[in-house]
Amino acid sequence: MKKIVFLSAIVALLLSGCEETPPQIDFSIPIIPLKDSTYIDPVPAPQHKAVLIEDITGVKCVNCPDAAIRAKQILTQKTQDSVIVMALYPTIPSIPFTDPWAGAPLLNANAASQIVEALGIPAGLPNGYIDRNKFVGKTDRIINYSEWINYVNQRLKLKTQVNINLSKEIVGRNLKVEFKLQYNSNTATMTNNPHKYALYIVESNIVSTQLDQSGVNNNYIHNHALRHAYGLAVGNPLTQTIVPGRTYLKQFEYEIPSEYVIDNCHVVCVVLDSVTDEVINVREIDLK
């Protein structure tokens, strides 16, 4: 009888151990587009440059809601067509504020962790990146939320050499998103480091738990949460030589998970400098 109990305990222990060890996923494998072409078109007039705010945040960070408020204020002042916000909920062992609440809707995303690990882990929260740029006088890309507006204003004054146009098609929960990148008439006068693109799905109006100034808030509304990256979260290479009129057309497919509310989701497309990682241009499209 004792032997049977002992064997049962060993089996239970092994099974519980298996549950705690998820399968390894290789995030280095780029996704293959449904449509992928590049060609030379007539040179278009330039779009205005838009700026990307990335809010590095955590659900157990009492001051993080203040950064979300600041991001919303900037977005309201500048309009969604000129400023785009992504909230990064990474899993960072050195920052316990990013640990998820047990039983609450999960906001942490592998894509967010990849971005933060590549661009710089802050010593504390809330912090963020503005256009992933390392500004003059700064030793890294990390910008305190109190300074975001100053750096956003700097970046909005810049020209961009690439136009971004997004379209989508949704059937049920199947999403096809297409982007067209066109190098415009600014291209000839701007530096031509190799570029890369990143494509993300973000979601707003997520009700989950958040530590704030009043304590544990189980009905906090999280906005602009990064949910998914197509391919590499830090960017996928654009391999052709950059010249005025260079056009890229790519289409991707994604089955939107049942826990995401489609009407609250957006697709964000970013073109980045492959050498400096700074944002060349960014655009967003709603999935409503």
Among candidate residues 129, 108, 107, the one with its CA nearest the CA of residue 118: 129
The rounded radius of gyration (Å) of the Cα atoms in the chain is 21
What mean pLDDT, rounded, does the chain reach? 90
Distances from the Cα of 136 to the Cα of 49, 66, 143, 191, angstroms:
20, 26, 12, 18
**pLDDT over 50 (residue 166):** yes
pLDDT of amino acid 30: 58
- Share above pLDDT 70 across residues of the chain, in percent, rounded to a whole number: 90
* Distance from C-alpha of 218 to C-alpha of 184, rounded to nearest angstrom: 47
Domains of the chain: 33-286 (2.60.40.10)
| Token representation of residue 194 | 């190799």
**pLDDT over 80 (residue 139):** yes
* Distance from C-alpha of 251 to C-alpha of 111, rounded to nearest angstrom: 20
In 3-state terms the chain splits into helix, strand, coil percentages (rounded to 5) of: 20, 35, 40
Model confidence at 80, in pLDDT bands (50, 70, 90)?
Answer: confident
